[in-house]
């Protein structure tokens, strides 16, 4: 009886018309445009490649990164040097998750992606890396990076 009633209700259901004007839909930037600089940075981190990271950051605004333990590093050169030293520690595998984005304004967007850092089954953690991007004439550029520890040995502290 419940299935028949649900079916009859669904039979009368009609989708609401699209209420977003077509010109506004066309004006929204494609996800790939916003996420491109972040994807390039995630690929450089995953490959543990300081040269690729430096190349990605070369197109950014003078960025700042706030690590999940509270350390802040400002500027492209300092960020690349920090990663160069971290990449030198052998044995880590880095697996980025899917990126998601939100458009805050015409010139401001955020992109976030979880990243799993794995050394052994017991020694691994997940960080949510959030990027703030600014739209400039050349395209979307990374301005700030914020890390949040989601899972790992210190996440419960």
Closest CA relative to residue 112, chosen from 19, 34, 56:
34
Q: How confident is the model at residue 144 (pLDDT cuts 50, 70, 90)?
A: very high
Q: Which two tokens stand for residue 117?
A: 């850092």
Helices 31-46, 50-58: axis angle to 10 degrees equals: 150
pLDDT at 154: 63
- pLDDT over threshold 70, residue 83: yes
Q: CA-CA distances (angstroms) from residue 2 to 11, 12, 13, 54, 99?
A: 14, 16, 17, 61, 40
State the pLDDT confidence band at 126, using cuts at 50, 70 and 90.
very high
Q: In the prediction, which pLDDT does 30 show?
A: 59
- For the segment 55-73, the average pLDDT, to the nearest whole number, is 91
**Given this model, what pLDDT does residue 66 score?**
94
User: How far apart, in Å, are the Cα atoms of 48 and each of 7, 83, 148?
Assistant: 54, 8, 20
Least Cα distance to 110 among 68, 145, 147 occurs for: 145
Mean pLDDT across the chain:
81
Q: Domains of the chain (ranges plus CATH)?
A: 31-151 (3.10.450.50)
81, HSE (Cβ side, Cα atoms, 13 Å): 6
């Amino acid at each position: 009886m419940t299935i028949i009633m649900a079916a009859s209700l669904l039979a009368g259901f009609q989708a609401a018309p699209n209420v977003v004007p077509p010109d506004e839909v066309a004006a929204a930037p494609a996800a790939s445009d916003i996420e491109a600089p972040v994807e390039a940075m995630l690929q450089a981190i995953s490959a543990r490649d300081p040269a690729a990271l430096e190349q990605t950051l070369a197109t950014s605004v003078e960025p700042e990164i706030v690590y999940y333990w509270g350390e802040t590093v400002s500027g492209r050169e300092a960020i690349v040097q920090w990663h160069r030293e971290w990449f030198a520690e052998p044995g880590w595998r880095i697996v980025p998750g899917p990126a998601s984005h939100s458009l805050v304004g015409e010139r401001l967007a955020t992109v976030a992606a979880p990243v799993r850092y794995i050394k052994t089954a017991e020694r691994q953690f997940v960080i949510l890396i959030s990027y703030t991007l600014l739209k400039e004439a050349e395209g979307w550029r990374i301005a700030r990076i914020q890390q949040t520890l989601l899972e790992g040995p210190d996440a419960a502290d």
